[in-house]
Structure 1
């Protein structure tokens, strides 16, 4: 378990993390989301004892990370995949880490096999691609068979097979009763991986909820969203009138209607004689809910996103 209480970090006049509190429980995957500059990496670094908080604190498995005599067996972390001696081979890097904890060589071979590094295990890390570097970082995180896993952008640079592998790994670790805490900018992947999300914006907690609950309160504020195809949009939507808070045309000729549910739209269509070719209730997506929540907390915004 990870317990963060009133965690705060100042860099001069800049407040990177502002009174952040949340709990990451074992047995589920908790996603950590937020725009660039939101404070996610700083929070993870403070949990790992790499940055000293200005105020507040964090404990992992009941104690501060720095207090563990065997940290690799308690917490496996990937915070910076490039933090490896570039002249060492992947095998020697893992072997050196294992030696610090009395971890047998057999475990080094196990994690190399688990992470798909067999073919490059004897090659120097300096020549690794970004994806291979990520796999090596995850192998190091798994080396001590830890109770808790903390991964910052673990799918960065991975091919589709690697992304699926990380998802399955996270789900398997959680199903095994371990604590899994990971960040990612891939909303579609987080939606398939996480059970719960913690969302930061400008150093503050914006949301801490089960993913289904978070999505349900997303962009449309919990309102119905229905995909409608009709050759008579003026007739149908004119009859619906103010019941629809928004009618948005799509490039494929369909419309997304926010407000009335599918049954109500069908009833109105029947009343006015407007043909309907499709009437499909739409669930909000994690991406929509996230974008709606963080709209005012993005530090660096592109012109097209305004």
Structure 2
């Protein structure tokens, strides 16, 4: 388990992380989300002792990272896939890491095989593609067979097969009772991988919930409505409902609405003799919920 309590980090006048608290539990994949500059990478650096907090604490299974006797065997990290000497081969890089913890060459071969790098194990890392570099970073993270994994954008640069492999692999690790923290800007992939999400905005926690709950709370039900009397039905919905109801026109005979369930809309139409051609709830998405929540948390926006 990873636990942050009152964690803050200031760089001069810049507040990167602002008094955040959360628990990242074993047995699930936790997605770490937020706009650029929200504090995700800083938080991850604080977890593994690369930065010191200005205040507060962050522990891994009850200990600070710097106090762990064998860090590779307890915490696997991927924070910068490019942090490898370009003149070394993939095998040489992993063997160097393994030597610090007495990990066998057999285990090095195992992780090369697991990550699909066996055929390029003796090639220099400087000639690797971005996706191959990511695979090597994941190989290094799992080298010590750790109980905790902290991965920053691990699918960046991977092809579709690689993305699928990472998704299945992380879910398998979580099913074994490990703690898995994963950051990504790819909402569609996060929706298929994460069980729980923590969202940061301007250095603060703005959401901490199971992914299904986050999606449903972030957007609410959206319903597509098509009827020859669209204007009449729209007027009835807006005049008789709560101020939270919104409508967006689709065509002269249709619109989407939020704030009312499909059954409520159907009832209003029936009582007023309005013929319906379509009344269908639209599945909410993680991307929609995330954008709605973080729209006001952006440091940089485009017109």
Global fold match (TM > 0.5): yes
Q: How does 1:230-249 map to 2 (within 5 A)?
A: 230-242=227-239, 243=241, 245-249=245-249
Tell me by how many angstroms 1:5 deviates: 1.2
Matches of 1:233 and 1:160, distance apart in 2: 42
Which residue of structure 2 aligns with residue 209 of structure 1? 209
The 10-residue stretch of structure 1 (182-191 or 267-276) with the greater mean CA deviation from structure 2 = 267-276
Matches of 1:140 and 1:250, distance apart in 2: 50
Matches of 2:227 and 2:162, distance apart in 1: 41
Calculate the TM-score normalised by the size of structure 1.
Answer: 0.93
Matched, 1:109 2:134: no
Matches of 2:207 and 2:5, distance apart in 1: 15
Matches of 2:250 and 2:76, distance apart in 1: 45
Matched, 1:229 2:251: no
Which residue of structure 2 aligns with residue 297 of structure 1? 297
Q: How does 1:259-298 map to 2 (within 5 A)?
A: 259-298=259-298
Deviations 1:119-158, CA, capped at 9 Å, x for gaps:
2211110011111111100000010000000000111111
Tell me by how many angstroms 1:48 deviates: 0.3
Give me the CA root mean square deviation: 1.8
Tell me by how many angstroms 1:273 deviates: 4.1
SS in 1 for 2:173: helix
Which residue of structure 2 aligns with residue 61 of structure 1? 61
Matches of 2:237 and 2:56, distance apart in 1: 53
Confirm or deny: 8 A CA contact 1:108 1:143 kept in the other structure. Answer: yes
SS in 1 for 2:113: helix
Matched, 1:181 2:178: no
Confirm or deny: 8 A CA contact 2:153 2:182 kept in the other structure. Answer: yes
SS in 2 for 1:296: helix
Confirm or deny: 8 A CA contact 2:230 2:254 kept in the other structure. Answer: no
Matches of 2:67 and 2:200, distance apart in 1: 27
Matches of 1:250 and 1:79, distance apart in 2: 44
Tell me by how many angstroms 1:211 deviates: 1.4
Tell me by how many angstroms 1:49 deviates: 0.3
Which residue of structure 1 aligns with residue 92 of structure 2? 92
Matches of 1:165 and 1:254, distance apart in 2: 41
The 10-residue stretch of structure 1 (45-54 or 162-171) with the greater mean CA deviation from structure 2 = 162-171
Matched, 1:154 2:151: no
Matches of 1:105 and 1:287, distance apart in 2: 42
Matches of 1:268 and 1:51, distance apart in 2: 58
Paired residues, what number? Answer: 300
Matches of 2:183 and 2:146, distance apart in 1: 18
Tell me by how many angstroms 1:166 deviates: 1.2
Deviations 1:200-238, CA, capped at 9 Å, x for gaps:
11111111111122122113xx4x321223343223323
Q: Which runs of 5+ in 1 are unaligned?
A: none
The 10-residue stretch of structure 1 (86-95 or 260-269) with the greater mean CA deviation from structure 2 = 260-269
Matches of 1:271 and 1:21, distance apart in 2: 50
Matched, 1:46 2:43: no
Q: Which runs of 5+ in 2 are unaligned?
A: none
Tell me by how many angstroms 1:98 deviates: 1.0
Matched, 1:83 2:80: no
SS in 1 for 2:218: coil
Confirm or deny: 8 A CA contact 1:239 1:272 kept in the other structure. Answer: no
The 10-residue stretch of structure 1 (147-156 or 158-167) with the greater mean CA deviation from structure 2 = 158-167
